[in-house]
Chains A and B, each alone.
Chain A
């Protein structure tokens, strides 16, 4: 725990920043836990997913692929593609956390999520001189982690009790819609999302390769649109 007052204040601000975020973490974690146990994983395996992987989108996608009988390589490749965005987040955060010790960097890496990244970047832009930003990140990321584990456990325990007719699985696309829509600025970004979405539906590929190929097509469409747009 932080000892220096400035560090403690940042840590607590990080915890505070988490509070509104819990509204997206809780339902997502519940759904992840429920989906994993419904896919035939044991409670222990479902929980292990949440603390070993700690990445909701990759957990959901690999759970669905696993339930659909996809080969291991396809599951791994899909999870890798989904998590490629962490490369981008990490590259951006390295400007602020590149000078920290390896242990700090490992902790920051393990706790990296879409939400932790977004809020930390906002924090940096509102208080650019803050020297203890990593404590803010730790408060935010630590709270996210605890909430995610608790929500997963609740999902594992309650998942089988909720009847399918409630359609609670729809929460997953809803949380993704909430994250996707704010990203859609500019024609290239819209085209990337549109291509990714329609390709995922229209392609009928063997071995459940749809998600990987659709995502790559979407990225290619975005890059191409940007190239053509800037050429004019």
Chain B
């Protein structure tokens, strides 16, 4: 599994560098690829806010949702990963103490 993922990942990184000097990606593909990072990251961020680990049903986790909103605000204002992670964790701990 690890080697297969590694190979795929390397090819995705290498192919455009090695080939694109000569080959152009189709316009529609370039346009679609621009949305991949935002769509993927949002899809990774959202589920742990709404599912307890292993639970099949949607169970909103209010401290996590609120802390994620705080973190998004901090990320927007500061553009700093460090500030977002540190203040986001502090917000989560504070909210857990208050709400749980």
**Given known contacts A86-B12, A90-B15, A177-B88, A219 and B32 CB-to-CB distance under 8 angstroms:** yes
Q: Chain A's nearest CB lies how many Å from the CB of B21?
A: 3
Give which listed residue, A105, A109, A179, contacts B81 with CB less than 8 A: A179
Q: Mark A54-83, 1 if CB is under 8 A from B, else 0.
A: 110110111000101000100110011111
A151 contacts chain B at the CB level, 8 A cutoff: no
Interface range for B: 35 or more
> Is the CB–CB distance between B12 and A174 below 8 Å?
no
> Is the CB–CB distance between A222 and B38 below 8 Å?
yes
> Is the CB–CB distance between A170 and B37 below 8 Å?
no
Q: Chain B's nearest CB lies how many Å from the CB of A41?
A: 9
CA distance A112 to B16 in the complex (A): 12
A27 contacts chain B at the CB level, 8 A cutoff: yes
**Given known contacts A54-B9, A94-B20, A218 and B88 CB-to-CB distance under 8 angstroms:** no
> Is the CB–CB distance between B41 and A193 below 8 Å?
yes
**Given known contacts A52-B2, A91-B20, A223-B31, A174 and B42 CB-to-CB distance under 8 angstroms:** no
Q: Which residues of B contact A68 (CB under 8 A)?
A: 54
Q: Chain B's nearest CB lies how many Å from the CB of A63?
A: 10
B5 contacts chain A at the CB level, 8 A cutoff: yes
Tell me the count of chain A residues lying within 8 A, CB to CB, of chain B: 90
Q: Which residues of A contact B46 (CB under 8 A)?
A: 196-198, 200-201
Interface residues of A in 1-52 (CB under 8 A from B): 20, 23-24, 27, 45, 48-49, 52
> Is the CB–CB distance between A112 and B5 below 8 Å?
no
CA distance A72 to B5 in the complex (A): 10
CA distance A181 to B80 in the complex (A): 10
CA distance A222 to B36 in the complex (A): 9
CA distance A173 to B43 in the complex (A): 10
A207 contacts chain B at the CB level, 8 A cutoff: no
Q: Which residues of A contact B37 (CB under 8 A)?
A: 85, 88, 114, 179-180, 183
Q: Mark B59-100, 1 if CB is under 8 A from A, else 0.
A: 000001001100110011001111011001100110010000
> Is the CB–CB distance between A109 and B17 below 8 Å?
yes
Q: Mark B10-22, 1 if CB is under 8 A from A, else 0.
A: 1011111110110
Pairs across A and B, CB under 8 Å, 10 listed? A79-B5, A81-B36, A81-B40, A82-B44, A87-B16, A94-B20, A110-B10, A169-B48, A181-B79, A204-B56
